[in-house]
Amino acid sequence: MGKIKKERCKLMISIFAAFVCFSGAHFSYQKALILRQNVNLIVVGDKITAERAFEIRRAEQRNSDEVTDFTMWTMAKEEYVEDREQIRGTKADVLEINGSSELLLFSGAVLHAQDLEGCLIGKGTAQQLFGSADAAGGQILYKGRLFTVRGILWETDNCMIVQAENDALFERITLAGKDGVTKSMQAERFCQSYGIKAGLLRTEILSGDLLRELAPAKWSDFEGFSRNLKNYKSEIAAFAGCGKSCIEQRYLQWKKAGGMLAVGGVILSLTGMLTGKNFFTQMLLILAEESCNME
């Protein structure tokens, strides 16, 4: 009986540990879901001016049939920012955007497109400038502009998001993903409509759109399948090689953590199956022995 209790204990521990791993993997993947949901583009050639970005936005608003929500943005690494009194200063990665921050963030505070005087900052930046992560309402100087903190990005450290000025140039575009439309179709439609040269950036190796993305016009067109697969791989490689924002890097960390937890869950599940086999084998042997003794 002692051996059975030991095997049962091992089985319960394996089941519980596997459950924890799979739950953690699900949570981590959900955190990184925004990278898979939205369509990320990188501009090829001349960057998009703020004036052009506003023209495209107005054109989309007039398009009543199929409006595409988008945010254009650019990132400056390790920019100097300081509090209003210029007592404390620090360096932060600054994202200057044209549009809402909702398309770039999984959850939390939002910087709306019309809010030219507000900003969002990472918890590390808040701590450096205000001595506390609870810095909503504080004011920050950046490039001679005064911003009021609308909220804290709790999952990032040294980061700041502001609405761009009229002289900004954008090299990244994020489109809101749509159900039933592949990323390549969305990217092609948007770029052709406004004469934009941009490459699609894929953050996922596998996705629900995989078959539709790879399928050629005719199933017998094997060259088309090979060409689509090559494009798919190049889009994944393009994202891996491009400069990433501090927010994207954080979501990639969540994705990596989810993968490791999922693998851990599988290993623990297999261990549990083996332990369970030993447990039930021992139970059957005892039942058989008791049956023989009764006879």
Q: Which domain holds residue 137?
A: 48-170
Q: Is residue 209 part of a domain?
A: no
Query: What DSSP assignment string belongs to 178-221?
Result: -TTS-HHHHHHHHHHHHT--EEEE---SS-TTHHHHH--SSTT-
Q: Is residue 13 part of a domain?
A: no
In whole angstroms, how large is the CA radius of gyration of the chain?
Answer: 26
What count of other Cβ atoms lies within 10 Å of the Cβ of residue 292? 8
Q: Is residue 43 part of a domain?
A: no
Mean predicted lDDT score pLDDT of the chain = 82
Q: Determine the Cα–Cα distance for residues 102 and 105; give it in Å rounded to an integer.
A: 5
The structure tokens 């949570």 sit at 27
Q: Is residue 109 part of a domain?
A: yes
Residue 286 has pLDDT above 60, yes or no: no
Q: Is residue 234 part of a domain?
A: no
- Number of compact structural domains in the chain: 1
Residue 218 has pLDDT above 60, yes or no: no
Q: Determine the Cα–Cα distance for residues 174 and 99; give it in Å rounded to an integer.
A: 10
Q: Is residue 63 part of a domain?
A: yes
Q: What is the pLDDT of residues 52-64, one digit of tens each?
A: 999 999 888 887 5
Q: What is the pLDDT of residues 222-254, one digit of tens each?
A: 566 677 778 778 888 888 888 888 888 888 888
Residue 294 has pLDDT above 60, yes or no: no
Q: Is residue 89 part of a domain?
A: yes
Q: Is residue 249 part of a domain?
A: no
Q: Which has the closest alpha carbon to 68: 203, 166, 174?
A: 174
